[in-house]
């Protein structure tokens, strides 16, 4: 029996100066810079930026009353589009180095680019619960993922941390700076704490509760769930369960990453693969909007200068 031939892939003939993958704070900042450098750019985004989860960020400079994450992303996209950036909601499936550039695959379509900037971020590992419940709890500030971003908002509140091992311990101790009432709950039976971790938690007055936990629900003005020691409720709960770095596209193309999956870059956001850049949470560093935007500015400027060195930009 004859084998089935693969579906044909259509590749555009025109070559973009840069394809940006991801439209969170890093991707949109880069789009603004590159568009204002008068380069031909294309922005692909799957519509799942972690910044969109933020009910209101209060530590992003320039917004004294804070700004919801979705509003910030909308304003940044409007700004990028004003200067000619084009965003398309699509899932990129591969980045292929070809000659002195790349083909970016979107399903059965290929887009040619002289350079690529990966700004795909990370995905937080979530406790198992209904998607609608997760969304409502986030919007109400009952469920939070970034104590650096919003630890101030839980000052003197009853806080639960779902986590284990050193990661769970560190997040609980970080939040202890804002409130005396912090409880570390294991998501599974074993909390995986060594003697030093237990001593640090005891010294800080952080309560430890064994798991597993589940049965999540919004009850009144609190977020509640079952534990091995009974049902508990909190003003805010922080899942400290790690995250998955979205670096697989770059790694598959040949870029180096750390054991955790963070892309390795130099001081100009260049990966180990020439012409491929990365910025934001997909790179090891502080997972903050301001940090992502700074890295994107560096990457965009380096891309502009690299392309100009290859072929002077003239208009």
The token duo for 161 is 């941390």
Task: Please state the separation of Cα 271 from the chain's center in Å.
Answer: 18
User: What pLDDT is attached to residue 8?
Assistant: 52
| CATH fold match for the domains 10-123+243-310 and 126-240 | yes
Pick the CATH number of 10-123+243-310 from 3.40.190.10, 3.30.565.10, 1.10.1200.120, 3.50.50.60: 3.50.50.60
For 125-156, write each residue's pLDDT tens digit. Answer: 999 999 999 999 999 999 999 999 999 999 99
126-240: what CATH class? alpha beta
What pTM was estimated for this model as a whole?
0.91
User: What pLDDT is attached to residue 53?
Assistant: 87
User: What pLDDT is attached to residue 261?
Assistant: 95
Mean pLDDT by 10 residues, the chain (315 residues): 48 86 97 97 91 91 94 97 94 95 95 97 93 95 95 97 96 98 95 95 96 96 96 98 95 96 97 98 92 97 95 71
Boundaries of every domain in the chain = 10-123+243-310, 126-240
Residue for token pair 């750390």: 258
User: What pLDDT is attached to residue 6?
Assistant: 46
User: What pLDDT is attached to residue 2?
Assistant: 44
User: What pLDDT is attached to residue 10?
Assistant: 64
């Amino acid at each position: 029996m004859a084998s089935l031939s693969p579906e044909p892939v259509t590749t555009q003939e025109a070559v973009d100066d840069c394809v940006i993958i991801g439209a969170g704070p890093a991707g949109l900042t880069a789009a603004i810079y590159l568009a204002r450098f008068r380069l031909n750019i294309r922005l692909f985004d799957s519509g799942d930026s972690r910044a969109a989860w933020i009910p209101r960020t209060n530590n992003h400079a320039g917004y004294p009353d804070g700004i919801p994450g979705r509003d910030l992303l909308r304003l940044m996209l409007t700004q990028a589009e004003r200067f000619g950036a084009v965003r398309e909601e699509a899932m990129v499936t591969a980045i292929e180095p070809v000659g002195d550039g790349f083909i970016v695959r979107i399903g059965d379509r290929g887009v040619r680019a002289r350079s690529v900037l990966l700004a795909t971020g990370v995905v937080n590992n979530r406790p198992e619960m209904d998607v609608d419940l997760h969304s409502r709890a986030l919007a109400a500030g009952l469920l939070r993922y970034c104590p650096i971003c919003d630890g101030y908002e839980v000052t003197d509140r009853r806080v639960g941390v779902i986590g284990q091992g050193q990661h769970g311990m560190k997040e609980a101790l970080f939040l202890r700076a804002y409130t005396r009432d912090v409880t570390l709950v294991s998501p599974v039976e074993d909390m995986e704490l060594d003697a030093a971790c237990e001593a640090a938690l005891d010294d800080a007055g952080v309560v430890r509760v064994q798991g597993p936990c589940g049965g999540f629900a919004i009850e009144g003005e609190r977020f509640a769930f079952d534990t091995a020691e009974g049902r508990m409720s909190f003003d805010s709960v922080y899942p400290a369960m790690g995250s998955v770095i979205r670096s697989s596209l770059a790694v598959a193309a040949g870029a180096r990453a750390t054991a955790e999956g963070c892309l390795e870059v130099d001081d100009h956001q260049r990966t180990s693969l020439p012409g491929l850049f990365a910025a934001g949470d997909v790179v090891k560093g502080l997972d903050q909007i301001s940090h992502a935007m700074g890295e994107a500015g560096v990457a965009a400027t380096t891309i502009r200068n690299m392309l100009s060195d290859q072929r002077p930009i003239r208009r």
